[in-house]
């Protein structure tokens, strides 16, 4: 896809988000229904691209700045969203790490509607590298994208990696924060135990 076409789609998506968030909140329901019948908000195609292992490694090797390299590795290991990774690194406290053999998890307990993040799972040895940072989400996104691999693809790659290594989809969903909104405490505990086991 050309740069101009990608920018055009990005602009349209941004306008649609603005309409849904702000402008539509000013309309009564009847006016909103009439408006949506007249104005067609373009749908975007699903992005099914999942990078190969070599692409993930190659992009990592192009990152020299330690703080961005740390964020990249956290995204690869945990599969959490960029926003959650930036939050973790900006608010990191070493004493919150929970270790279990060769794995570690950092409690996040973040909830943004359907987007949840209970823990960030990672190899225990990676925790030796993790330290508090002062990152801005747009800066991290741009730095990683300049290495030919957008951060959203790291999440897709990690999900694919988990599934191809036998992790059940429901556990992979939980690890990445795709848990259903009706997770009760018993179900939450079971998913946490399964994620600990499978990761």
pLDDT at 167: 95
CA 34 to each of CA 14, 15, 18, 20, 43: distance values in angstroms, whole numbers, following the listed order: 22, 19, 18, 15, 19
CATH number at residue 106: 1.10.443.10
Domain count, the chain: 2
Residue 43 lies in a domain: no
By percentage, how much of the chain surpasses pLDDT 70? Answer: 74
177 and 150 housed in the same domain: yes
26 and 115 housed in the same domain: no
Residue 47 lies in a domain: no
Please give the Cα distance from 77 to 51 (Å, whole number).
15
25 and 81 housed in the same domain: no
58 and 29 housed in the same domain: no
pLDDT at 185: 46
Domain residues for 14? 3-38
95 and 153 housed in the same domain: yes
Per-residue pLDDT reduced to its tens digit, 23-43: 555 666 676 667 667 777 667
Residue 44 lies in a domain: no
68 and 23 housed in the same domain: no
Element containing residue 195 per DSSP (H, E): helix 185-198
74 and 137 housed in the same domain: yes
Q: pTM to 2 decimals?
A: 0.75
73 and 25 housed in the same domain: no
Per-residue pLDDT reduced to its tens digit, 96-147: 999 999 999 999 999 887 788 899 999 999 999 999 999 999 999 999 999 9
131 and 105 housed in the same domain: yes
| Residue from 126, 197, 190 nearest 162 by CA | 197
């Amino acid at each position: 896809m050309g740069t101009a076409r990608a920018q055009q789609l990005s602009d349209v998506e941004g306008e649609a988000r603005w309409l849904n968030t702000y402008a539509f909140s000013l309309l009564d329901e009847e006016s909103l229904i009439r408006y949506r019948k007249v104005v067609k908000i373009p749908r975007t195609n699903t992005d099914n691209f999942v990078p190969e292992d070599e692409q993930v490694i190659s992009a990592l090797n192009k990152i020299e700045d330690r703080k961005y390299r740390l964020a990249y590795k956290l995204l690869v290991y945990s599969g959490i969203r960029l926003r959650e990774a930036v939050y973790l690194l900006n608010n990191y406290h070493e004493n919150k790490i929970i270790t279990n053999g060769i794995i570690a998890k950092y409690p996040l307990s973040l909830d943004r509607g359907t987007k949840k993040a209970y823990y960030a799972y990672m190899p225990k040895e990676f925790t030796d590298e993790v330290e508090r940072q002062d990152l801005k989400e747009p800066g991290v996104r741009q730095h990683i994208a300049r290495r030919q691999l957008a951060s959203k693809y790291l999440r897709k790659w990690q999900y694919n990696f988990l599934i191809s290594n036998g992790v059940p989809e429901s556990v992979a969903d939980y690890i990445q924060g795709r848990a259903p909104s009706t997770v009760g405490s018993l179900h939450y505990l079971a998913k946490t135990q399964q994620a600990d086991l499978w990761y």
